[in-house]
Structure 1
Amino acid sequence: MSCGVPQESVLGPSLWNIGYDYMLRGDLPDEVRVVCYADDALVLERGESYQDVVETATRGVAAVVDRIQ
């Protein structure tokens, strides 16, 4: 295996928690929330207009991707 967390391992859940904890503690815009389940991350955003949502969500997703990388 070159990267990732092995499936069905005793350490798998703990390694997932360590890795995603780092991502979830990153700085995000106030309107952005991140929901994680299994190996997925969902970025949620709200705003006054479509343009506000697009701009803030773009910054939020970029912040999450930076933390994951």
Structure 2
Amino acid sequence: MKAEYDLSKMKSRKNPYASKLKKPVTMRLSEDVISYFKEMADEKGVPYQSLINLYLRDCVAQHRKIDISWQVKS
């Protein structure tokens, strides 16, 4: 192994994994939702934000759609 390497002649290229990187976002979540995921994350031994990401990723993979229909009282 060399003590030093000359990298000045290398060509740069885009990171092929850049599209798969996580993007930081700011969300407002209810305290009970955060508590639910934190408890579940503690049971599983994973960070709660990772658990929320896994849940949302599963929703994407399963093409789940939410039904937001409000009941109209007569």
Higher Cα Rg: structure 1 or 2? Answer: 2
TM-score in terms of structure 1 length: 0.27
Higher RCO (CA-CA < 8 Å; seq separation 6+) = 1
Greater strand fraction, Structure 1 or Structure 2: 1
TM-score in terms of structure 2 length: 0.25
Greater helix fraction, Structure 1 or Structure 2: 1
